[in-house]
Amino acid sequence: MRFGLKDYDWGYVGAKLAQSDDNAQTEFFKRFIKECKTWGTNYQIEMQLLYVRDKLTIEERELLNTLTYEKEED
C-alpha cells in the first residue's frame, strides 16, 4: 500500500467513520477518490469498484446509491 497501512481493523475504521459527522465522511470520500485517481485510468478505478460492489449485499448497494442521487430540476 502506498502509505504502508496494513493490519488495520477496517470494521473499526468503518464504524468510526459512520459515527463521524458529514464533514469527516465527505473528507473520507474525497480523499478515497483522489487516491484512486493516482492509479492511472478511470477503467482501473471502475473495475475495482465493481469488485467491491459484487461483495456488497443488495441492501448495502441500495444505500450507497443515495450518494449518486441527483435531484431533478424543475
Whether the per-residue pLDDT at 4 is higher than 90: the answer is: no
- Is 5 or 8 the better-scoring residue by pLDDT? 8
CA distance 17 to 24: 7
Q: Say what the pLDDT of residue 2 is.
A: 60
71 pLDDT band, cuts 50/70/90, is confident
Report d(CA 48, CA 51) in Å as an integer. 5
pLDDT for 50: 97
CA angle 69–13–19, rounded 5-degree value: 60
Predicted model pTM: 0.80
**Residue 15 pLDDT exceeds 90:** yes
Handedness of CA 62, 63, 66, 67 (dihedral sign): negative
Alpha helices of 1-74 — where are they, by DSSP H?
A: 10-18, 22-36, 42-54, 58-65
